[in-house]
Structure 1
């Protein structure tokens, strides 16, 4: 009996696979949809190589996906249009309105100069994926996009979109990826984004967004990648960001954020990449930040962080990490760093004392107040910094009555470390 039951399950499974394959191989059955595709072919200047006019679109047209004889997907990414189409092309996709079962439209890298039509959010109710990356799109994001409640991926990056981010996008409760980076968007981050509970990637970087980071972003329990860099965001990082337990990458660099870092940030056990450079943060770095077990890259350069360096030994994984703590206000003795530490940039601070022998090949320490190291700050600069804070300065290891020699130029090894760390910081993945 069990054998027969197992056999029936296997046969049923095979039948489903065959039926699914046949459904995808059925020819286009709707004359309206065929006419719509031909109109789209003409308006976009799609070549006969990709869409041969006398062939069945479901079986022969590149980038066309069908199911049960209906079009459910169009992908023209990477296509090269005809010469005439390239000269006259615009956001001429009105024919899509007649493809009522269309679930995916990908035109990334294929120029569609013009604005996204308002009817997109009214007529394409089955849409799940909309990819318009680097399509030369201009104008505002239509609020009607918020009506596409089945949408799970929205890519609009690398265009010239203007205006605000519509709060109506917060209605897309099934959205997993939202990328509107590298545009000309203004206004604030919508508070309604707190309703996007399925979001795993949020990239609003390289726009002109202002205001503060909404505390409601801390409600996005599935968020793994958050990039708000290169905007004009101000105020502080809300404590609620510490609730993002699934977060892997956090990039808030090049804004005007200030204040101290939330202590709860150190409790994000999955965090691997943290970029907070180019802001106005101050205070000490939370000790818990160094205890994150998966931390691989931390860049807090170009801020006003102060205090003594943390105890790196609290994290066994630190030996494989890259840290950029340059151009802050760290002071005190340079603690012994792990010998297997990959790279760390401590330049442009006010560290004093001797450099441990085991750190000279993996640490950039130029522009500090260290002894017997080239390219350090001037004596006056170091004395003034320590005096203003009521701290004792070691006078580069000389008695107070002795004038220390002027520091020399940067060593070749430190120049190499600067170059490597700069390359790593600029090469983080785009979400």
Structure 2
């Protein structure tokens, strides 16, 4: 009988959260914070006057977000609702000055305090609640109240796992300042997507996206830097203003371990499980306060070191009920077979897609939107790599498409870029239609 894939806890607000209706002055502060999210984006259109105006607004918004969260949580010496109203004055003045300085067309795009999107304020406050206070937070509207905040304290294990997910997005944004890094990330996403199940937008798809981000940003060494994107970010000045939790999460991702781990036993205190890798017999002690890791289950994903010789599994981990020895042997054999030709983390993704969800692999994923887009990417990659002495010109294997460069990149040391370049080269003529595939059929999972 197939081993079932188990449902993991939702990523939104944990069960048992408290709902708090904000007083009008506190709700106003949230609205100003939402406006600041819009303003920070539009401020990038203005010339810097000694300091980037978008960064100045973002810094003030982050400070206000932390103060609002302190008020919601009732932190000692935190501001009252009336005090928050006063603390918004400086940011409100900054945003009004921004509105006057923007070109007329851009100024019209900037909403008012009353109609700014609460989702933007929610992002600031979620980050502040997690990184400064170890809480989950969600903003909601209510027919009788302007703004309602849902909050709950998190176990340190989940706090680290949630922070690890957020720092991946920070790393992705930071890499956009380096053209070659950005292209390498795009190549990594394309490469790993071909070995994943199709994303239908549900929790399963979200877990797959984050596993691929973990590999592309925290594990895969880049040609641009000689180390992973996240490792490079940790060596930059960018981290000077980071919270302790964000630094811990970033380091945990860089030092993480990926694999298929069978749960052997659970310690008497009920929070720590001993797991063993199905492929190399490595054993780990995993802190699991929610009772997911119990004997008879397998966790396929990434374990983050959390200190004291323990690990915490990333939220992207798949949880499978697999007590049958044949299922365990099949999983181990699949991981090893895929790993013979793929990076290990991608091999694990392929095992999940093929064995648990019945995907036909590799999936046909276009490397570009159309032939012109493929050509632009080839030429940009060529330019970025030649300026760093990483490109080797080779003869074009066939007729050169109209307007295309006659040079391709030979990147023998990097299988990911080599595959992407080959796919882009093929796409400059035409992007083939996806072949017909039989329906997905899981083999040891449902």
Task: Identify the TM-score tier after normalising by the shorter chain.
Answer: under 0.3
The structure with more radius of gyration: 1
TM-score with structure 1 setting the length: 0.26
More helix by share: 2
